[in-house]
Amino acid sequence: MASTYVFSGGTGGQWLISSIAACRGAGLAPAPALTIRPWEPGTADGAVHWRLLGTISNTRYATRDEMAGLRVRQEGLDRPQATHAALIPIRKSAAWWALAQDERRAIFEETSQHTAIGMEYLPAIARRLHHSRDLGEPFDFLTWFEFAPADEPAFDKLLARLRATREWDFVEREVDIRLVRAAPG
């Protein structure tokens, strides 16, 4: 069953935004904090600078063996030591979506090795993918990452490696939002 979440950039939230950088295409308005919560139709977010919706859905491009490897190595979100995070919304080009699913899979994994690269950084970097394309959102995917401060250089290396692949030739909009967990209270 799909679960939809809303990511709201505004004046308060569980995460403090340390930077918002447009990597490709238009960026997002500055905001000091981010709130993440399950989305409920008709619920107002209050005063927000921007709002993005994403649904956790079935995995689209991973094989059974890749899924098993991810389950063994991936740790969950909300780990106490993972006080840093990144939200990376991405929109791919019409050319990407015009490809058949097997052609996208070939670029995603056989050529770009997306899953294999990501596996190298587990369990230090936890992630969760949200699909937004079918919701009519401005991005196709919202990728949420959490990691300990000491693992941020490894996270930057992960991003650099992924951005250097053939898959990223199809990315037309990408924003890199860096965050630090807000102190409780």
Confidence of residue 174 (pLDDT cuts 50, 70, 90): very high
- Bridge partners of 5, per DSSP, are 38, 54
Q: Which has more confidence, 134 or 41?
A: 134
The pLDDT tens digits of the residues spanning 5-16 come to 999 999 999 999
Q: What is the pLDDT of residue 114?
A: 86
Lowest mean pLDDT among 31-45, 120-134, 154-168: 31-45
pTM (2 decimals)?
Answer: 0.90
Q: Are 173 and 166 in contact (CB under 8 A)?
A: no
Cα three-residue angle 10-14-20, rounded to 5 degrees: 50
pLDDT (tens digit per residue) in 90-144: 999 999 999 998 899 899 888 888 888 988 898 999 999 999 999 999 999 999 9
State how far the alpha carbon of 50 is from the alpha carbons of 10, 28, 31, 47, 82, in Å: 7, 7, 8, 9, 25
Cα 82 to Cα 102, 105, 108, 134, 174: the distances in Å are: 35, 30, 27, 30, 23
> End-to-end distance of the chain based on CA atoms, in angstroms?
33
The Cα 101–Cα 115 span in angstroms is: 16
50, 29 contact by CB (below 8 A):
yes
Query: Which residue, chain included where needed, has tokens 């389950």?
Result: 71
DSSP string covering 78-124? --TT--EEEEEEEEE-HHHHHS-HHHHHIIIIIIT-HHHHHHTTTTT
